[in-house]
Amino acid sequence: MIEVNDLSKRYGEKLAVDSLSFAVRPGVVTGFLGPNGAGKSTTMRVIMGLDRPTSGQVRVNGRSYARLKAPLQEIGALLEAKAIHPGRSAYHHLLSLAASNGIDKGRVLDVIDMVGLSEVARKRAGGFSLGMGQRLGIASALLGDPRIVMLDEPVNGLDPEGVLWIRNLLKSLAGQGRTVFVSSHLMSEMALIAEDLIVIGRGRLLSAGPIAEFIAQASTRSVRVRSPQAASLGGVLVGEGVTVTNTEPGVLEVTGLDPAEIGERAAAAGLVLHELSPQEASLEEAFMELTRDAVEYHATAGALATAGRTN
Amino acid sequence: MTTTPAVTGPSRDLRVTLPRVLRMEWIKFWSLRSTIYTLAITALLTIGVGSLVSGVIGTGDGGPGQDDFSDPASMSLGGVMLAALATAALGVLTSTSEYASGMIRATLAAVPARLPVLWAKVIVFAAVSFVLMLATSLVAFLAGQAILSSRGFTSVTLADPGVFRAVVGAAVYLTGAGLIGLAVGALLRNTAGAVTTVVGALFVLPVLIQLLPASWDDSIFPYLPSNAAGSFMAVEAASPSLSAWPGLAVFTGYIAVLLAGAAVLLKRRDA
């Protein structure tokens, strides 16, 4: 359980996090979404006790981070990939971190195996790719078998196989009842792994809750249908609660029906389909719309403040 | 590659303790090749330069003056000031390399109280450095005296007054220079800045200060860290230096103040 209460963090002139409140519950994957520079990493650094909040507070399993007696057992975090001395091996890097919390060597070897770094663990980490660095960071997050796993942009630099692996890993960690908190600037990635979603922009909370709600409140889902008999198809599909728009010749944008229903109706009417694709992009667009508003609001406020000073 | 981590019982004792943090810093210290290279260079400089000085002293044009031989121990320890550059750099890197790589965030996340990390670094560095540098200074001293005596010059033994203290003092200085580096590294969190600062304070300042008017020079000179250290590495104190124990007090005072500053900032600053 992570609780963030009215958190603000200012770096000089810049207010990186602005009165942010949310809670991350155990047992599900919670996505932490926002454009670059929205304050996601700052928030995570404050949660880890690395940066001191300007105001507000953060609780990790009910305590402030500095008061955790066995921190690696409470929360494991990946904050940046390749945060390792280039001259040190992954094995010694993890062994040193483990030692500080009394975690034994066996566990170090286990997590190295778990992230698939066994073959390179004894080599100097300077030659690691970004993807290997991410795997190492995940290994260090899992060292203490923690109740909370918090990862900042974990899929960055991973190959497709690695991305799939991380999705399954996060889901299985949540399935074991752990709190899993993962940041990303990619809505599409979050849509695949997260059950809960926290969206921020310019340091402010924009949306928090189950991802299903976010999707529902976001723009309506549509299905793109391409057919040489588009006009006839439109007539078959249109009806109560269904809208059909003809966006370009031979292409229909259908809302209110799922792809299966469209396909069945087309088949029943003996119409040919060339494409039948659910438009997930609407989710991405909803996210961009949400964050764009925040960006604009703050840009205006900033311009006013500047104007005020010069007068 | 498995996807499910082994769930272990909650009863395991995984609290952070100072001995555990010491173990962390011990592993970090020895798992870098650069540590071993730097320590080897320090030993080579201390023994090599000491032997060289002992081997060539008196072969110049003017012949050996009486003054040159008032302190044979210092000739065999002639490499210490140079070798201190290496330990100071090692001390700086002990702190700054964590900031350069970003590992400091993993370290401080593992040890939320923060200060044990600094103390553990100090203890590991001081213990390792003092043991190795004491051995190095002894070898440098014995080799230097053997060379001097084989050339028919005056030599001394560890039993002579002040000699043992000077040899131990060399190890103290080499270790202390490293601790100054460690503290300045923790304060500045930047390798280049910290190395420059430490080299400036230990090696350049004593030279620059001699350009000042004599009255200023005499009142500042003995209190510079390297000159304060020089006083306990010399068998007999030369004016205007401090005598051995006040010199040691001044030198350790610098280290204590710098470490206290590093501790305050480590606790306060964002990592």
Instruction: Provide the strand spans (E) within chain B.
Output: none
Contacts of B33 in chain A (CB under 8 A): 87
Could B112 and A172 be called an inter-chain contact, meaning their C-beta atoms sit closer than 8 Å? no
Q: What is the pLDDT of residues B34-56, one digit of tens each?
A: 999 999 999 999 999 999 999 98
Residue A295: predicted pLDDT: 57
Interface residue A42 vs chain B (CB under 8 A): no
Is pLDDT above 70 for B12?
no
Residue B7: predicted pLDDT: 46
Smallest CA–CA distance, residue B94 to chain A, in Å, is 11
Helix (H) or strand (E) holding A225: strand A222-226
Is pLDDT above 80 for B213?
yes
Higher pLDDT, B60 or B226: B226
- Return the half-sphere exposure (C-beta side, CA atoms, 13 A cut-off) of residue A118: 10
Could A101 and B23 be called an inter-chain contact, meaning their C-beta atoms sit closer than 8 Å? no
Q: What is the pLDDT of residues A249-307, one digit of tens each?
A: 889 988 888 888 899 999 999 999 999 988 765 567 767 767 766 654 444 444 444 44
Report the distance separating Cα B208 and Cα A202, nearest Å.
Answer: 51
Higher pLDDT, B212 or B252: B252
Map tokens 């370009």 to a residue.
Answer: A248
Q: Give the pLDDT band (50/70/90) at residue B9.
A: very low
Residues from B in contact with A at Cβ < 8 Å: 1-8, 12-17, 20-21, 23-25, 27-28, 31-34, 97-98, 101-103, 105-113, 268, 270-271
Could A84 and B15 be called an inter-chain contact, meaning their C-beta atoms sit closer than 8 Å? no
Residues of chain A numbered 91-150 and touching chain B (CB < 8 Å): 92-93, 95-97, 99-103, 107, 110-111, 113-116, 140, 142, 144-145
> Given the DSSP bridges, would you call strands A243-248 and A251-255 parallel, antiparallel or unpaired?
antiparallel
Q: Which of A161-165, A277-281, B27-31, B110-114 is least confident?
A: A277-281
Q: What is the pLDDT of residues A41-55, one digit of tens each?
A: 999 999 999 999 999
Could B110 and A101 be called an inter-chain contact, meaning their C-beta atoms sit closer than 8 Å? yes
Average pLDDT for chain B: 90
What are the mean pLDDT values of chain A's consecutive 10-residue runs (311 residues total)? 96 94 97 91 96 96 94 95 92 97 96 96 93 94 97 90 93 97 88 92 91 72 87 87 85 87 91 85 67 56 43 37
Structure tokens given for A300: 């205006």
Instruction: Set out the domains of chain A in order of their start, with CATH numbers.
Output: 2-217 (3.40.50.300), 222-279 (3.30.70)
Instruction: Provide the strand spans (E) within B98-145.
Output: none
Could B32 and A66 be called an inter-chain contact, meaning their C-beta atoms sit closer than 8 Å? no
3-state secondary structure of B30: helix
Are A60 and B73 a contacting pair, CB within 8 Å?
no
Q: Give the pLDDT band (50/70/90) at residue B11.
A: very low
Report the distance separating Cα A80 and Cα B50, nearest Å.
Answer: 47
Count of CB pairs separated by less than 8 Å, A with B: 135
The closest of B130, B136, B145 to B53, measured between CA atoms, is: B145
Are B71 and B165 a contacting pair, CB within 8 Å?
no
Higher pLDDT, A13 or B183: B183
Q: What is the interface pTM, i.e. ipTM, of the complex?
A: 0.90
